[in-house]
């Protein structure tokens, strides 16, 4: 860097000297001491556009105006010759690092750091390797990285190589833009790219659009593990003028399943979904927010508005919606917005989803229903409970394709593209005509309320029709519990309360609001009403709602090693950890929501698993959180924890809950988790488990 700045200082000095001497021609550099022919000094030229790229002198001059860590606000085009290659293109990472100069020599070079290949794609085995002396045009984000002027990692690509290529995600598409983006008139790839380039960096479209093309290259085939695929489409099936379809779902907006037809190069597809200007330089579909609307002319449908058939019903018990009507209503909701009340939907089970049949482990099931039991025009019933709004237990009848059901519960427009029931907030109201009451899900329960001791409650028979009033002391309530799960104890015994609601049939996952309003904590004496149920042989109070709080006690934070949280059995939530700001040797629990790429926290935060960053993750109190101020960056030290938890190698961990042991310290200038030595996620653990000692 010192040599670089010295060089520019000397160039500036020389320019001043020449401007003051009328008889000295310009622009020339100072001759060297050996008396060789002077090396011409190249003047900055170009405007940084595709039509008029910067030369190397111009991009160096521009990059010097950036502060440390600052990036250019948009893509810049740079033209030069490769002077040296520091990292060749490889199929492992798909990028390369090299320097360019205006004349191909090692003087006045600019670093192209880990840039992608032509068409803004990763390098593949059949691609031509770069060589010293090649003339290139590079498109991408420029940064001042700790004083080193370079392109940002994976945010630049070869726009052209020795005059060949051109195109990519940054607006270099070839061909005429066609179509209107509708189902009846889909965009061609050029039309889709033209629209997406009008979006701000990382901004998503506000609705679904349709794009038609032929598959030209497959990056990731469909698998049963993730159910999605990534590929390029073009108008004619060649690698010219391509559009990137990133992690798209299968036909009917479903995950790919065993037995489904695999895609291949040459297939004609229509894609429906949300679009994004990823990092400001890559137009593509949003991960898991698009699907194949048709494949070689077959298919169609899906949750995004492609279903056919008549909508029927009013969503009530006496007049349930059919699947089409349920889809229509749910599609009218904003992304990830739940319905404000329970609705009824009637249909025949067409397919059991990948999440599976009812099981003892979770007590819920996922399946698709339609009017006629065919796998078309379906509605997704996601993790619904059993008859009587209870968890399924061994001995209960299993659901199967062909069963007629009425579903009662809350609905959600998941991620804005998948209408479905809300997990554990719906249940089977009737199965082939059989019903077992309602419970707390909106089913109209009746009957007297019996005031009993906990011992008498435990001795009673299970029923969703009989309601019991219990009074006792709250025990083993965990800090931050949003469901209201705890033990209730009186002088006759103890029972587990599975979810305390504020009122009969009230909304779930609102316990923190109730606890704050009523002062409920460990040691509080409360009166509740609920049904006698059980799960895996353990007696529970189901559908419970609060009557009153009679007193307040002390108590700890849930029976852990410390009353103030941070133990293995009572970990800090992300909200609590951020509020704490610091802490040594504590457990923190949250959901993995993304990672940070680069040096800047807010602009570098990515709420997906698409990058190659392995050194950190982002966690939040909610899996759907996208506000960086409510997230914590987690530094992953090399070793077992990094290998097991980083998103680059473990993309399926996105949105999974993770338990971490480490220190709460400043990281990326905000409260973060560092020095992590232990992690639990998705049923696995990494590193060494540690005990948290009680604070004095």
DSSP one-letter string for 290-334: EEEEEETTEE---TTTT--S-----SSSSS-B-HHHHHHHHHTSP
Proportion of the chain above pLDDT 70, given as a percent: 85
pLDDT class of 436 with cuts at 50, 70, 90: low
Predicted model pTM: 0.34
* Residue in 599, 635, 641 with CA at minimum distance from that of residue 618: 635
Q: Please say if the pLDDT value at position 15 is more than 70.
A: no
Tokens 């489904």: give the residue: 260
Sign of the CA dihedral 635, 641, 644, 649? Answer: positive
CA 11/CA 17 separation, integer angstroms: 10
Q: Helix, strand or coil for residue 516?
A: helix
Is the distance from CB of 459 to CB of 551 less than 8 angstroms?
no
CA 450/CA 465 separation, integer angstroms: 12
- Residue 336 backbone zone (phi > 0: left; psi -120 to 50: alpha; other: beta): left
* Residue in 563, 578, 562 with CA at minimum distance from that of residue 618: 578
Mean pLDDT score of the chain? 81
pLDDT digits (tens, 9 = 90+) for 637-687: 888 899 999 998 888 899 899 999 999 988 888 899 998 999 999 888 898
Instruction: Kindly report which listed range (282-286, 551-555, 586-590, 599-603) carries the lowest average pLDDT score.
Output: 551-555
CA 669/CA 558 separation, integer angstroms: 32
First-last CA distance in the chain: 52
The beta strand positions in 41-88, using DSSP E, are 76-87
CA 618/CA 647 separation, integer angstroms: 10
**CB neighbour class for 434 (10 Å; exposed up to 12, middle 13-18, buried from 19):** exposed
CA 138/CA 159 separation, integer angstroms: 5
Q: Helix, strand or coil for residue 235?
A: coil
Contacts of 648 (CB under 8 A, 6+ apart): 595, 609, 611, 612, 613, 614
Both tokens of 296, joined, read 């070689």
Is the distance from CB of 491 to CB of 525 less than 8 angstroms?
no
Q: Give the per-residue pLDDT at 617.
A: 96
Q: Helix, strand or coil for residue 365?
A: strand
Backbone angles phi, psi at 571, to 5 degrees: -70, 160
CA 454/CA 471 separation, integer angstroms: 8
DSSP letter (8 states) at residue 668: T
Proportion of the chain above pLDDT 90, given as a percent: 34
pLDDT digits (tens, 9 = 90+) for 513-562: 888 888 899 888 898 988 999 888 899 999 898 887 764 333 333 333 33
CA 65/CA 149 separation, integer angstroms: 10
CA 283/CA 243 separation, integer angstroms: 7
């Amino acid at each position: 860097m010192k040599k670089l700045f010295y060089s520019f200082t000397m160039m500036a000095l020389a320019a001043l000297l020449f401007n003051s001497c009328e008889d000295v021609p310009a622009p020339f550099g100072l001759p060297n001491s050996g008396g060789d022919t002077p090396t011409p000094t190249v003047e900055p030229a170009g405007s940084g556009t595709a039509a008029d790229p910067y030369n190397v002198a111009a991009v160096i001059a521009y990059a010097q105006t950036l502060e440390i860590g600052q990036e250019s606000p948009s893509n810049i085009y740079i033209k030069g010759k490769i002077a040296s290659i520091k990292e060749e293109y490889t199929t492992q990472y798909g990028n390369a690092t090299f320097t360019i100069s205006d004349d191909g020599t090692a003087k006045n070079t600019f670093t192209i750091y880990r840039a992608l290949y032509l068409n803004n794609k990763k390098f593949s085995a059949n691609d031509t390797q770069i060589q010293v002396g090649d003339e290139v045009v590079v498109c991408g984000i420029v940064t001042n990285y700790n004083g080193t002027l370079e392109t940002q990692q994976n945010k630049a690509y070869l726009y052209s190589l020795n005059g060949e290529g051109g195109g990519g995600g940054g607006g270099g598409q070839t061909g005429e833009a066609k179509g209107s983006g509708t189902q009846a008139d889909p965009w061609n790839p050029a039309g889709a790219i033209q629209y997406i380039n009008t979006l701000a960096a990382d901004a998503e479209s506000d609705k679904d659009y349709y794009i038609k093309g032929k598959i030209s290259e497959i990056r990731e085939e469909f698998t049963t593990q993730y159910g999605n695929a990534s590929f390029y489409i073009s108008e004619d099936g060649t690698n010219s003028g391509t559009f990137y379809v990133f992690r798209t779902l299968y036909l009917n907006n479903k995950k790919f399943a065993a037995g489904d037809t695999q895609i291949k190069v040459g297939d004609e597809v229509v894609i429906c979904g949300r679009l994004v200007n990823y990092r400001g330089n890559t137009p593509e579909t949003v991960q898991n927010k698009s699907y194949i609307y048709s494949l070689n002319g077959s298919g169609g449908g899906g949750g995004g508005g492609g279903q056919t058939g008549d909508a029927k019903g009013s969503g009530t018990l006496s007049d349930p919606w059919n699947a089409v009507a349920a889809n229509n209503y749910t599609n009218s909701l904003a992304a990830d917005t739940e319905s404000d009340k329970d609705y009824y939907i009637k249909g025949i089970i067409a397919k059991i989803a990948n999440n599976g049949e009812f099981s003892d482990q979770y007590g819920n099931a996922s399946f698709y229903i339609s009017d006629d039991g065919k796998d078309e025009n379906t509605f997704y019933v996601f993790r619904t409970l059993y008859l009587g709004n209870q968890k399924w237990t061994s001995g209960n009848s299993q659901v199967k394709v062909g069963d007629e059901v009425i579903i009662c519960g809350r609905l959600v427009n998941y991620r804005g593209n998948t209408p479905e029931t809300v997990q554990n907030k719906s249940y089977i109201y009737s199965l082939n005509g059989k019903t077992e009451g309602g419970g707390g899900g909106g089913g109209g329960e009746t009957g007297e309320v019996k005031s009993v001791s906990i011992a008498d409650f435990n001795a009673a028979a299970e029923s969703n029709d009989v309601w019991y009033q219990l009074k006792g002391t709250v025990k083993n309530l965990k800090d931050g519990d949003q469901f209201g799960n705890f033990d209730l104890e009186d002088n006759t015994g103890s029972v587990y309360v599975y979810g305390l609601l504020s009122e009969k049939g009230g909304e779930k996952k609102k316990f923190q609001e109730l606890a704050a309003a009523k002062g409920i904590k460990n040691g509080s004496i409360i009166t509740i009403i609920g049904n006698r149920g059980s799960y895996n042989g353990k007696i529970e109070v189901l559908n419970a709602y609060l009557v009153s709080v009679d007193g307040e006690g002390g108590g700890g934070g849930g029976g852990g090693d410390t009353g103030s949280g941070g133990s293995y059995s009572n970990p800090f939530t992300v909200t609590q950890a951020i509020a704490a700001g610091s802490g040594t040797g504590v457990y923190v629990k949250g959901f993995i929501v993304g990672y940070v790429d680069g040096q800047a926290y807010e602009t570098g935060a990515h709420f997906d698993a698409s990058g190659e960053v392995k050194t950190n993750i982002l966690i939040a109190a909610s899996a759907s959180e996208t506000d960086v101020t409510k997230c914590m960056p987690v530094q992953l030290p090399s070793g077992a924890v990094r290998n097991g938890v980083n998103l680059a190698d473990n993309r399926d961990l996105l949105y999974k809950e993770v338990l971490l042991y480490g220190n709460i310290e400043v990281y990326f200038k905000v409260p973060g988790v560092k020095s992590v030595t232990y992690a639990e996620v998705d049923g696995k653990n990494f590193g060494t488990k540690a005990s948290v000692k009680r604070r004095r």
